[in-house]
Amino acid sequence: MDNEAVRQAAERIKASSTVVVLTGAGISQESGVPTFRGKDGLWKQYRAEQLATLEAFQRDPELVWQWYDWRRGLIKPLDPNPGHYALVEMEKRIQDFVLVTQNVDGLHRVAGSSNPIEMHGTIWRVRCMECNQIFENRDVPIKILPTCEVCGGLLRPDVVWFGEALDERILRTIYTSLQKAQLMLIVGTSAVVQPAASFGLVAKRTAGAFVIELNRSKTAQSFLFDLSIQGKAGELLPQLLDYIDL
Ligand code: BV8
Ligand code: ZN
């Protein structure tokens, strides 16, 4: 663990009043949630990109619902880890703090983050393919195939699939916060999936933000950022907080 880099990062965060944090699957890994592209990223030999699409769902809704049911069953008993909780504390210490997550596991909300922007939706909501009604649904197991209690239509997970556009309002909120960010913290993402993978550059280019990446390993974007610290989010974030509180 590069203590000097962590201390430097903490100094920078302490000196910032507007901070944007982007998290990916890496922040939930220590809670037991499999990441997408790591060795644990497969389910029955399928990759997320093959199942998390509208085409896959229309072709075989049972298979896609089996995958989501498996993930829901896996995630439901899991708890946030010290990395999630450190971000809850960090939010209390920073005047203008925005947390954007690519994760659909809902763990930032469980940890107590006040308003996590779940840009890819959440696995705990479903949406009717017919009437677009949205419901909170935490059934584990979930009935396969689940139907809408209003119109009887087929329900889908209320998440953003590959090839689907993100919610305009959510994107606008994110870009507005990136354009005024003094500092951006990018935690546990492989920076592969767009548009999230462009956010670090947007903050740098438009707001001159100081960008810090926390990840177990280097990513393709590490060279772009002001600080890239390797380590586990569940260890680095609490350490960052300790330095901030010094
Ligand atoms: C869109 C919800 C346009 C579903 C998800 C170029 C080429 C080909 C395709 C594209 C392209 N540009 C854009 C696209 C399309 C596509 C895309 O980006 N494809 C990728 C694969 C190239 N993007 C889209 O389709 C997006 N929509 O572009 O729309 C459009 C516009 C108008 C009209 C129509 C369309 C929508 C993308 C959303 C996909 N949905 N999730 C579900 O989850 O069921 S994405 C999915 O990947 C998850 O949300 C996940 O969070 C996300 C990103 O992955 P990561 O979070 O980074 O996770 P990963 O496993 O990859 O990495 C984990 C990292 O953590 C690693 O770096 C690891 O080192 C680190 N780590 C592990 N453990 C720890 C750790 N770090 C710290 N501590 C640890 N303990
Ligand atoms: Zn309906």
The one catalytic residue in 12, 120, 156, 232 is 120
- Residues 15 and 31: their CA atoms lie apart, in Å, by 30
Determine contact, residues 195/166, Cβ cutoff 8 Å: yes
Any atom of ligand 1 within 6 Å of the Cβ of 219 = yes
- Residues 124 and 133: their CA atoms lie apart, in Å, by 14
The amino acid occupying position 95 is: Q
Nearest Cα residue to atom 71 of ligand 1: 26
Go through the domains of the chain in sequence order and give each one's CATH number: 3-32+80-120+166-245 (3.40.50.1220), 38-77+128-159 (3.30.1600.10)
Any atom of ligand 1 within 6 Å of the Cβ of 217 = yes
- Residue 154: CB atoms within 10 A of its CB come to 16
In the prediction, which pLDDT does 37 show? 80
- Residue 89: CB atoms within 10 A of its CB come to 16
User: Tens of pLDDT along 57-76?
Assistant: 999 999 999 999 999 999 99
Determine contact, residues 157/68, Cβ cutoff 8 Å: yes
Residues 6+ apart with CB under 8 A from 148: 128, 130, 131, 133, 135, 154, 155
In the prediction, which pLDDT does 225 show? 97
- Residues 194 and 99: their CA atoms lie apart, in Å, by 17
120 is catalytic: yes
The CA angle 82-14-246, to the nearest 5 degrees, is 70
In the prediction, which pLDDT does 1 show? 66
Given a cut of 50, the residues of the chain with pLDDT beneath it are: none
Any atom of ligand 1 within 6 Å of the Cβ of 38 = yes
